Structure 1
């Protein structure tokens, strides 16, 4: 099914992408390369859609220089790579995240599953295919996007998104579980104090949490 975007939708998408360009440009000025993932990359935005930025190769000292509202560290499960988050606003609608250790293949593919674009892609007004939170495969079109249910179209999604079949199935299972049970909690979430550095927080968590320490040393 093809969804045709209204003038208001195109305007909303442009505003969110312009803001994403501004954030990525500010990061580049610090020598940091970031990418946008999710609905802003695909195009199927809503008024409340977040602007999510991922930095794959972080420099902690440079990232400490990013003006922000608050910072936190999350480890989704005891066996997942811990990630740090810099929220640019109080509501966490604009977030820069980065891994604290090397990401596993499936963790990298997660970003391509949802759709991932670079700074240059945004300047070229490029949109990419990806899967939304209700397991719809979103494929950009000239008028808006085409949407298909992911369930039953897994093989097509593998070719389109260029990720592995097992990642597709894992994300399907996780999102279906969230749909059934509501939003699931995370194993660890640590809010940094106003003047606390990521380096200090990592040292503190490594000392006090064996699962965090294990994944930092993996």
Structure 2
């Protein structure tokens, strides 16, 4: 598995196959999940509504997997930071990203120098497809982790991962979009969008993120976003339209 931001290529196979986990894989997964639980528990009010998405939710982790926890509702970032720090975490890096002008900008609180443990908070309310993006990749709750539940989801290689009692089943997403949507519990629209984005990325390379801003310790995410909007017409338009629709 590739780390966040790396160029994982879509799988070419049209066949399904079963993967059986050995003891090392189960131990690796437990280590990631135990660490994720400590982050969840530090979120206080938001711990039950937050999700972890990706390989830790699905179960198909490797040594370089990320712990990516999302608070799926617009929230005061300062309060989240205070909760994390009062629980002993250090916010190493603070960053804002926005994939495209149409997407909600997000705050990222990285809790390690390698940027493999992160809490993400939308700075505007997520749209339906943005919420489904996380479920497409597999999204689990704190209760799921405590109950040792794994969830189905899709990788950046456009492979559907379905947990089994002794590992998981892998099958292709491309040309199976309606069935994948049913199994993962999302709309066909988000599956087709991810196929389009990831196959285009494979063909032409990553085109980059529309907006990425470092946030100094002395200011809030909201302040930095507001300042950027003063000189960024596309961001300003998004903020105006989305705030008007509340």
Q: Normalised by the size of structure 1, how large is the TM-score?
A: 0.95
Q: Which residue of 2 aligns with 1:160?
A: 183
Which residue, out of 202, 206, 209, partners 1:179? 202
RMSD: 1.2
SS at match of 1:64: helix
1:77 aligns with 2:90: no
8 Å Cα contact 1:32/1:59 also seen in 2: no
8 Å Cα contact 2:177/2:188 also seen in 1: yes
Q: After TM superposition, which residue ranges in structure 1, 4 or more long, deviate above 4 angstroms?
A: none
**Deviation, structure 1 residue 180:** 2.2
Q: Which residue of 1 aligns with 2:149?
A: 126
- Show structure 2 runs of 5+ residues with no match: 1-16, 85-89
Q: Which residue of 2 aligns with 1:105?
A: 128
**Deviation, structure 1 residue 195:** 2.2
Which residue, out of 8, 15, 18, partners 2:31? 15
**Deviation, structure 1 residue 39:** 0.4
Q: Normalised by the size of structure 2, how large is the TM-score?
A: 0.84
**Deviation, structure 1 residue 151:** 1.1
Which residue, out of 44, 50, 55, partners 2:60? 44
Q: Which residue of 1 aligns with 2:115?
A: 92
8 Å Cα contact 1:64/1:197 also seen in 2: no
8 Å Cα contact 1:78/1:211 also seen in 2: yes
Could you tell me how far apart the structure 1 residues matched to 2:21 and 2:201 are?
28
Q: Which residue of 1 aligns with 2:80?
A: 63
1:115 aligns with 2:138: yes
1:212 aligns with 2:235: yes
Could you tell me how far apart the structure 1 residues matched to 2:230 and 2:136 are?
34
**Deviation, structure 1 residue 80:** 1.2
Could you tell me how far apart the structure 2 residues matched to 1:64 and 1:211 are?
28
Could you tell me how far apart the structure 2 residues matched to 1:22 and 1:191 are?
26
Q: Which residue of 2 aligns with 1:32?
A: 46
8 Å Cα contact 2:78/2:220 also seen in 1: no
Could you tell me how far apart the structure 2 residues matched to 1:175 and 1:103 are?
21
Which residue, out of 204, 215, 220, partners 1:192? 215
**Deviation, structure 1 residue 142:** 0.6
SS at match of 2:63: coil
Q: Please, which moves more after superposition, 9-18 or 175-184?
A: 175-184
8 Å Cα contact 2:98/2:105 also seen in 1: yes
SS at match of 1:68: coil
